[in-house]
Amino acid sequence: MLHAFVTPDPIHAAIKRHRAAYDVYQVAPEGTPSVIANDEYDAASDALVSTACATRFGALALVEHLRWWLHQEAEFKAGH
């Protein structure tokens, strides 16, 4: 029996990081915690858009995540 070792699609980690950073940013208190959360959110966003999808399932997960994010951020679309 041949066992294939499948490398996880890196986009899944980028999506997870982006979602976590978004969630933290939403509840971060004013001041330094908000600045730190914003910096991580920006870094996670940069990583998200610069990470290539290695699989069709990764691409679908990215599209699903972006749809969710666009829905959440619709009222702030001018800033994006």
Asked if residue 5 is part of any domain, the answer here is no
Which residue type occupies 21? A
Asked if residue 51 is part of any domain, the answer here is yes
Residue ranges making up the domain that contains 39: 10-68
Residue ranges in the chain whose pLDDT is less than 50: none
Q: How far apart are CA 14 and CA 48, in angstroms?
A: 5
- At residue 77, the pLDDT reads 74
- At residue 76, the pLDDT reads 83
Asked if residue 3 is part of any domain, the answer here is no
Asked if residue 56 is part of any domain, the answer here is yes
Long-range contact list for 45-52, CB < 8 A, 24+ apart?
Answer: 45/18, 45/21, 47/14, 47/17, 47/18, 48/14, 48/15, 48/17, 48/18, 51/10, 51/11, 51/13, 51/14, 52/10, 52/11
- At residue 55, the pLDDT reads 95
